[in-house]
Amino acid sequence: MIINNDTIIKDSDPRIRQVSQPVSLPLSKEDEDLLRQMFKYVVDSTDEELAEKENLRPAVGISAIQLGIPKQLTAVYFEDVDKNGEPVTREFMLANPHIVSSSLQKAYLKGGEGCLSVEEEHEGYVVRSARIKVKAFDLIRNSEVEIRARGYLAIVLQHEIDHFSGILFYDRINAEDPFKEIEGAMTI
Ligand code: CO
């Protein structure tokens, strides 16, 4: 399957609202190939030249439903800094990721969120949990993992896991007051 900005489904397509189902483990060859291709998309999309040549929109994550496939698969890749300020690459190829706990404290990106399936801008704060714990099978590490995420990684994982429920980031923006201050929230 070719993954590019033409094959990624947009929010005008009702399939983006479909609920995704868990996949069986160990992964089938088909699911494993799909997940690897999704990951490759995200990695390649950050290479300006490749992105231009292959019609890739830059992204930090993608979920299978964005290809019209309702399976709980998501790939994430971006450069980050850890809590000591050291550079770290966040990379995951996740099957069946699910949030097992989340902080009461909220967080949002000051600049708002974007999505490969959303072409228009939707301004406003997308309010999420500041810290989450996610359990999943990770194909990169070839094992079950428990991810303790905070800050940007927590936002990205919540965005991707929302896709499994057919939820898009702008569903979480306060329609009456998109930039309403959230008390005690972490801004990123
Ligand atoms: Co998205």
For residue 151, give the CATH number of its domain. 3.90.45.10
Count of domains forming the chain: 1
Asked if residue 180 belongs to a domain, the reply is yes
- On whether residue 111 sits in a domain, the answer given is yes
1/18 Cα distance (integer angstroms) = 20
Helices (H), the chain: 29-45, 48-54, 151-163
Tell me how far the alpha carbon of residue 127 lies from the centroid of ligand 1, in angstroms.
15
Whether 6 maps to a domain, the answer reads no
In a domain, 165, yes or no: yes
Q: Which domain holds residue 134?
A: 14-187
Structural domain includes residue 3: no
CB 98 within 8 A of CB 135: yes
Is 113 contained in some domain? yes
User: How many angstroms separate the alpha carbon of residue 45 from the centre of ligand 1?
Assistant: 14
Confidence (pLDDT) at 27: 98
How many angstroms separate the alpha carbon of residue 40 from the centre of ligand 1?
16
What is the structure's pLDDT at 95? Answer: 98
Q: What is residue 30's predicted lDDT score, i.e. its pLDDT?
A: 98
4, part of any domain: no
**pLDDT, position 132:** 98
* Active-site amino acid positions: 160
Mean pLDDT by 10 residues, the chain (188 residues): 94 98 98 98 95 94 98 97 92 98 97 96 96 98 97 97 98 95 93
**pLDDT tens, position by position, 25-45:** 999 999 999 999 999 999 999
Q: Find the angle CA(66)-CA(188)-CA(57) to the nearest 5 degrees.
A: 30
Residue 29 within any structural domain of the chain: yes
pLDDT of res. 82: 87
C-alpha to C-alpha distance for 170 and 177, rounded to whole angstroms: 13
pLDDT at 173: 96
Residue 156 Cα to ligand 1 midpoint, Å, equals: 9
Check residue 1 and give its pLDDT.
83
Please answer whether residues 113 and 126 qualify as being in contact, where contact means their C-beta atoms are separated by less than 8 angstroms. yes
pLDDT of residue 42: 97
